[in-house]
């Protein structure tokens, strides 16, 4: 190993992902040397508790509770942030970049909210800021957009970006359990956090979508531009209605760019069973990219976990070793939700709407409410009802979602849900589909 150079990294965090990074570096040391000519060694790892029992073997002398010892060490060339959260991670990354250290992070929330600022600091310091692990775990979608689709104009990105929500929906559809039951299973298996709001309310997927859109499109957007809806309001009756329509429900993140206009959304959606994303189950992620030259590309893999995420981190380490200078990129126009080039397209969309009436007699007035709420170009079709007739499902095609909101407000229903609908619009159905029992 006479010609092998050593490079030292500092870890900010030694939890699940950090431990996976250490394990992978040790297991694949010879392979990394063969690929890069460098032996990558961990010199410092920031932890909260020095005495904690760990799943990875690491010299106790490498552990520290002092972040400064990682950030100012002149031998450390690469800082890997896998601690999560905004602060203190944001301050640590700023300091590392300003000190001339390359930074690799898996922190999607931080990047979605502060990525522009950190990219500018990295550029001014002449160092790399890499974040393959922030989106879709082991799927190399970030590198694909940054390096391998530069000859293409990306027009859309669509995917399942949150494994927790996908597992829950898979269980609800396969085992016919409630959301609460499926969530409890996910938590027991370690697929969901004790506080799962970021996953089940769509925030996690929104952060990831924002990162991908800012790489793929020539307009810089903000996280606030993402229309977001989670899966907490989905009930077993929705799963049953979806099955009747030949659909499955998935939490879909979508970004499109057309004519200078950007649309960003995260929402549960009814997908036709023939849709490529309909078959993605459990904790797997999938991303479909549509581009003008190459056409459609779909990537599938584990979206989270110790080793898939560690793999993405190590790929970024290898990228720094191979290309330590910042590749040239074209400047982007800055946009906000109300600014130039970032706003919602006005076009007809299909929706699934489920409403639960307070009393059966209220359903008598539905036709009158439809007339008052919708215009003549809209299409409204009842496609299902429960045997007690309290709960009904509709397909609605309209170019203004506010009309659906007006309709729901007029009905005064107890509960409801509105989801995008990606199946066939059953225009020839004059009678409700098969009635469902309320059980």
**Residues of the binding site for L-homoserine:** 193
102 sits in which H/E element: strand 102-105
For residues 286 and 200, give the distance between their C-alpha atoms in angstroms, rounded to a whole number. 17
Which positions make up the binding site for NADP(+)? 12-19
Chain centroid to CA 191: how far? 15
Q: Which of 190, 10, 7, 8 is closest to 83 using CA atoms?
A: 10
For residues 252 and 160, give the distance between their C-alpha atoms in angstroms, rounded to a whole number. 5
**Rounded to the nearest 5°, which phi and psi values hold at 420?**
-60, 145
Q: Which of 139, 138, 97 is closest to 115 using CA atoms?
A: 97
Which positions make up the binding site? 12-19, 108, 193
| DSSP notation for 407-437 | HHHHHT-SEEEEEEB-S---TT--S--S-B-
Cβ–Cβ < 8 Å for 207, 266 = no
CA dihedral 323, 329, 334, 336 (to 10 degrees): -50
For residues 131 and 215, give the distance between their C-alpha atoms in angstroms, rounded to a whole number. 12
For residue 56, give Cα distances in angstroms to 24, 41, 72, 268, 314: 10, 15, 25, 38, 16
For residues 386 and 323, give the distance between their C-alpha atoms in angstroms, rounded to a whole number. 61
Cβ–Cβ < 8 Å for 2, 33 = no
Where are the alpha helices (H) located in 99-202, listed in sequence order?
A: 108-125, 141-143, 163-174, 179-188, 197-200
To 5 degrees, how large is the angle CA 26–CA 61–CA 122?
A: 70
Q: Is the dihedral of CA 429, 434, 435, 439 positive or negative?
A: negative
Chain centroid to CA 348: how far? 25
To 5 degrees, how large is the angle CA 323–CA 327–CA 332?
A: 150
Three-class secondary structure of residue 12 per DSSP? strand
For residues 88 and 68, give the distance between their C-alpha atoms in angstroms, rounded to a whole number. 12
Active site residues: 208
Q: Which of 193, 227, 203 is closest to 113 using CA atoms?
A: 203
């Amino acid at each position: 190993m006479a010609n092998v150079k050593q490079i030292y990294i500092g870890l900010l965090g030694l939890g699940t992902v950090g431990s996976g990074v250490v394990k992978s570096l040790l297991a694949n040391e010879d392979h990394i040397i063969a690929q890069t000519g460098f032996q990558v060694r961990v010199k410092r790892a920031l932890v909260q508790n020095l005495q904690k029992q760990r799943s990875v073997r690491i010299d106790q002398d490498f552990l520290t509770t002092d972040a400064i010892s990682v950030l100012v060490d002149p031998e450390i060339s690469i800082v890997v942030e896998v601690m999560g959260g905004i602060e203190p991670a944001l301050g640590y990354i700023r300091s590392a970049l300003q000190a001339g250290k390359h930074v690799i992070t898996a922190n999607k929330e931080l990047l979605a909210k502060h990525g522009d600022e950190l990219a500018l600091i990295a550029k001014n310091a002449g160092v790399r800021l890499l974040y393959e692990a922030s989106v879709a775990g082991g799927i190399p979608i970030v590198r694909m957009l940054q390096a391998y689709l530069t000859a293409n104009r990306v027009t859309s990105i669509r995917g399942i970006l949150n494994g927790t929500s996908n597992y829950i929906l898979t269980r609800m559809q396969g085992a016919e359990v409630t959301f609460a039951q499926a969530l409890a299973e996910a938590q027991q298996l370690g697929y969901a956090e004790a506080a799962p709001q970021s996953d089940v309310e769509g925030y996690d997927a929104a952060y990831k979508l924002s990162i991908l859109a800012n790489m793929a499109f020539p307009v810089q957007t903000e996280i606030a531009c993402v229309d977001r809806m989670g899966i907490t309001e989905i009930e077993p009756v929705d799963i049953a209605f979806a099955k009747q329509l030949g659909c499955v429900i998935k939490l879909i993140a979508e970004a499109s760019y057309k004519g200078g206009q950007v649309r960003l959304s995260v929402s549960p959606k009814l997908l036709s069973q023939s849709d490529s994303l309909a078959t993605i189950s459990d904790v797997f992620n999938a991303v479909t990219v549509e581009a003008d030259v190459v056409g459609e590309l779909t990537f599938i893999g584990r979206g989270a976990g110790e080793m898939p995420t560690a793999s993405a981190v190590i790929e970024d380490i290898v990228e720094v070793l191979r290309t330590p200078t910042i590749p040239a990129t074209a400047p982007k126009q800055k946009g906000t939700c109300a600014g130039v080039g970032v706003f919602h397209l006005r076009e007809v969309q299909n929706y699934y709407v489920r409403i639960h009436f307070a009393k059966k007699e209220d359903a008598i007035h539905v036709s009158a409410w439809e007339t008052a709420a919708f215009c003549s170009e809209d299409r409204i079709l009842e496609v299902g009802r429960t045997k007690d007739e309290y709960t009904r499902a509709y397909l609605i095609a309209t170019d203004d979602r506010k009309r659906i909101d007006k309709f729901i407000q007029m009905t005064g229903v107890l509960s409801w849900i509105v989801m995008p609908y990606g199946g066939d619009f059953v225009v020839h159905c004059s009678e409700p589909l098969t009635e469902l029992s309320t059980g």
